[in-house]
């Protein structure tokens, strides 16, 4: 059975204006990969009701899991919940358990648990709460969509709590082979190995430092034996051409800031 597929939906004008830099896509991507869930797409969209409705519907219909971040706070521009409920055609209710949690959270503080803050207890009727151990106001799951806060520390706490409820798959095996060879020189080898191992994805990430350069070759796949064999073949072919190749102990990248094929 193939691994479940997922999408991330980041909702927030402040990301699209560049004012706030998203940290949630990268963090969730690593977590999902570790769970054996294949992240297929990530989107950033504006705090716009119709856009949220259409995008949630489309992603929920396409993927096994959707994870959203942002727009569930107390202010007028926090419209995610209203839009997500509309996407599924259910009403928003003031959720009794969410109200109880928020009431406990604000009790014995001098913060007024006013109408704006009570709005954080508004949840689509058919949703289940996602715990927020940081600041009480819960996220929620409705069908296959998990709605979480945008603040990275809260999102991370929410996801860590809900992760055991997800149906994971096979965690991919990832092997990095460090090659003392330019990306353009190794390209032919990688194409040949890739043709031979259809289930192994091979990425190449050139790196440079004063007086040295090389390419980190990252092999990923669900079948351990195939990934091992493909990595061994890359190393063998690189060495056969007279260049050094060494399997990375920790699978980290040396100086790798590259995305996609780097230009040498």
Chain residues 38-57 in contact with a copy of itself, contact rule CB under 8 A = 38-47
Binder of a copy of itself out of 190, 231, 238, 245 (CB under 8 A): 190
CA neighbor of 60 nearest in space, from 188, 147, 118, 169: 147
Cβ neighbors of 176 (< 8 A, separation 6 or more) are 216, 217, 218, 219, 247, 248, 251, 252, 253
Choices 24-32, 59-67, 123-131, 242-250 (CB under 8 A): range interacting with a copy of itself: 24-32
Binder of a copy of itself out of 161, 168, 184, 255 (CB under 8 A): 184
Sign of the Cα pseudo-torsion (49, 13, 27, 187, in order):
positive
CA neighbor of 81 nearest in space, from 122, 43, 130: 122
Q: How far apart are the first and last CA of the chain?
A: 39
Would you give the binding string for a copy of itself spanning residues 51-90, x where CB under 8 A is met? ------------------xxxxxxxxxx-x----------
Spell 109-148 as b/e; 16+ CB within 10 A means b.
Answer: eeeebeeebbbbbbbbeebbbbebeeebbbbbbbebbbbb
Tell me how many residues contact a copy of itself (CB under 8 A): 93
Cβ proximity to a copy of itself: between 144 and 220 the closer is: 220
Closest separation between CB of residue 209 and a copy of itself, Å?
Answer: 14
Choices 161-169, 182-190, 222-230, 232-240 (CB under 8 A): range interacting with a copy of itself: 182-190
Q: 146 with 67: CB under 8 angstroms?
A: yes
Binder of a copy of itself out of 3, 25, 86, 146 (CB under 8 A): 25
Q: 161 with 133: CB under 8 angstroms?
A: yes
Closest separation between CB of residue 242 and a copy of itself, Å?
Answer: 12
Closest separation between CB of residue 259 and a copy of itself, Å?
Answer: 3
Closest separation between CB of residue 220 and a copy of itself, Å?
Answer: 7
Query: Which 3 state secondary structure label does DSSP give 213?
Result: strand
Angstrom distance (rounded) from CA 20 to CA 195:
41
State which of positions 3-22 bind a copy of itself (CB under 8 A): 10-22
Kindly state the helix (H) or strand (E) to which residue 255 belongs, with its residue range: none
State which of positions 130-169 bind a copy of itself (CB under 8 A): 132, 134-137, 149-154
Closest separation between CB of residue 35 and a copy of itself, Å?
Answer: 11
Angstrom distance (rounded) from CA 124 to CA 127:
5
Closest separation between CB of residue 98 and a copy of itself, Å?
Answer: 12
Cβ proximity to a copy of itself: between 20 and 165 the closer is: 20
Cβ proximity to a copy of itself: between 33 and 89 the closer is: 33
State which of positions 202-241 bind a copy of itself (CB under 8 A): 202-206, 218, 220
Burial class of residue 68, CB neighbours in 10 A (0-12, 13-18, 19+): buried
């Amino acid at each position: 059975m193939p691994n479940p597929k997922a999408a991330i939906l980041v909702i927030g004008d402040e990301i699209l204006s560049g004012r706030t830099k998203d940290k949630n896509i990268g963090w969730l991507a690593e977590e999902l990969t570790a769970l054996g869930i294949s992240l297929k797409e990530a989107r950033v969209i504006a705090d716009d009701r119709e856009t949220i409705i259409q995008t949630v519907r489309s992603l929920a219909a396409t993927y096994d899991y959707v994870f959203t971040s942002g727009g569930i706070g107390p202010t007028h521009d926090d419209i995610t919940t209203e839009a997500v409920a509309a996407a599924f055609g259910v009403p928003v209710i003031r959720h009794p358990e969410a109200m109880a949690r928020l009431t406990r959270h604000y009790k014995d503080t001098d913060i007024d648990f006013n109408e704006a803050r009570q709005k954080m207890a508004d949840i689509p009727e058919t949703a289940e709460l996602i715990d927020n151990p940081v600041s009480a106001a819960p996220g929620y799951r409705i069908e296959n969509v998990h709605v979480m806060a945008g603040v990275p520390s809260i999102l991370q706490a929410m996801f860590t709590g809900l992760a055991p409820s997800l149906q994971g798959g096979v965690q991919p095996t990832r092997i990095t082979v460090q090659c003392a060879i330019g990306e353009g020189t190794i390209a032919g080898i990688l194409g040949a190995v890739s043709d031979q191992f259809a289930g192994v994805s091979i990425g190449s990430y050139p790196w440079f430092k004063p007086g040295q350069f090389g390419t980190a070759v990252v092999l990923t796949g669900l079948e351990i034996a195939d990934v091992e064999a493909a990595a061994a073949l890359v190393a063998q072919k690189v060495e056969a051409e007279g260049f050094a190749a060494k399997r990375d102990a920790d699978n980290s990248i040396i100086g790798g800031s590259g995305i996609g094929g780097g230009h040498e």
